[in-house]
Structure 1
């Protein structure tokens, strides 16, 4: 693939042009964009490479680490579920996820997790890269771990765990992921 990038999928013309421009300007190595409006797929694009050596094409099923970019969407979905009465910020997580109560975590609430006060900011042992996509395994690790401080007594950024904690509560309460 030399010159223009091979874009797979479809999107409205302006969005497709912007997606293509990111590659033309050198801002992208590989990317995927998908959007729905009112439950209907309106854009689905993939292009470029999934490795720096440009040997593996970026495909529709290429996994990408997005770090904290999903936290705003997570907070919005949780706020909507709270507004609809499906979630409660002050409800103990262990009420819906009994295994989570282990190691002194029975009183941790959704609010504590969202505000990084649960004391569960990371893992004591290294997690192999291919393990991060195994949702149930990571949730089991979190359920089994002890807080680093008494929950609610301090705050510390939970970059590795908050998405799994909140996501598991959301899944158990709403049936959605």
Structure 2
């Protein structure tokens, strides 16, 4: 890079340098544990609270009879959704056969919709159960559906520990909800 002042950026403190920055302030809320219940035994579960909101405010893509599809507030990739049972259960083995079937059908539909609207080349689908299993909110079961593209894991998340998202969550919710119908 040249030393030309027109290409210099501010470092966030006021000193010009030649680095580009992608600010992702929403990640700080995740790091601080905001919206995560301090005590899992309380009724502060975000996955129980979200269905009480309207679809736009709750980022709900689709409501089923026993489960719903919601955008991840801290997505790993654009279009990252979660399939959650309405009932507050922590483990997959605690779901009823009907809940299991509906979650599977909603997951299949989520893959189809994401493939149609985003041309995803692949998907990561899975559940993290329990704190040791990597669940951010272990008290309420949720299945992740993460769209993937060839080459989508560049230096940003690996070295920079930053995810870049090209679209606002509400815009993504609107796109997916519209395609769901």
Shorter-chain TM band: under 0.3
Q: Which has the higher helix share?
A: 1
Q: Structure 2 length as normaliser, TM-score? A: 0.28
TM-score by length of 1: 0.28
